[in-house]
Amino acid sequence: MEWIAALIRAIGASFPGAASLVQLNSEIESSNTNRRLDRLEDPISALHPEVRQLSSEIYLALKGGAATTLAFDDSFYQRFGRPLAALEADGEIKAGHTLNKRYAFGFRITSPVYILYMAALFESKHKMSKLVQTVDACKAGDRLDGNAVAVQLGIPVSVVRSVLELYRDKGYGLLSDEPGSSKYMAKV
């Protein structure tokens, strides 16, 4: 809406009605700034307007089991086709497609950041704080069994593993790659 600002500069703010245009321009700029800040603060939700609703359903499925590979019925894929495509294009999930059917084999959550995004939205803040405190308190040589921590805190194993992956990726520890295992040992 740069045209409003150009018009105001051209006619002057003291022109009758210009104050309304100044106010309108200010509100539009504020709205645009807020939208840009929201995209910076929450880039995953900015992928598509239905990503939060989709993520809520995905997180409920994660709470029901340990796997990060999920399969839903066809109506789910029809309802959330676009936000799923946006998540896949962004690298948050990886889907199994065939020529005859999209999501023929469901999809796998590939990003620990996406799992933690969902946990930030839908998990108890107290449980998440306790998880981070537990991992952060590990000293060099300390070991954690992520599966046991998940049971103790009552959160999905995939959430615990995602935190452990971030610590591993920062060079703070080692994490088992064995399927179904979340064994962690702190290095520093």
Separation in Å, CA 24 to CA 18, 31, 34, 65, 187: 10, 11, 15, 51, 56
Domain count of the fold of the chain:
3
**Structure pTM?**
0.80
* 55, 29: one domain: no
The reply to whether 117 falls in a domain is no
Q: Is residue 53 part of a domain?
A: yes
Entry field: residues in the chain? 188
Q: Which of 70, 85, 109 is the last residue of a domain?
A: 109
> Each residue's pLDDT tens digit in the chain (188 positions)?
455 454 455 445 555 555 555 566 666 666 555 555 445 468 899 999 999 999 999 999 999 886 889 999 999 999 999 999 999 999 999 998 888 888 989 999 999 999 999 999 999 999 999 999 999 999 999 999 999 999 999 999 999 999 999 999 999 999 999 888 899 999 99
Cα separation of 113 and 92, whole Å?
Answer: 8
Q: Are residues 53 and 89 in the same domain?
A: yes
In contact, 116 and 68? CB cutoff 8 Å: no
Task: Tell whether 118 is covered by a domain.
Answer: no
Structural domain boundaries, residue 65: 46-109
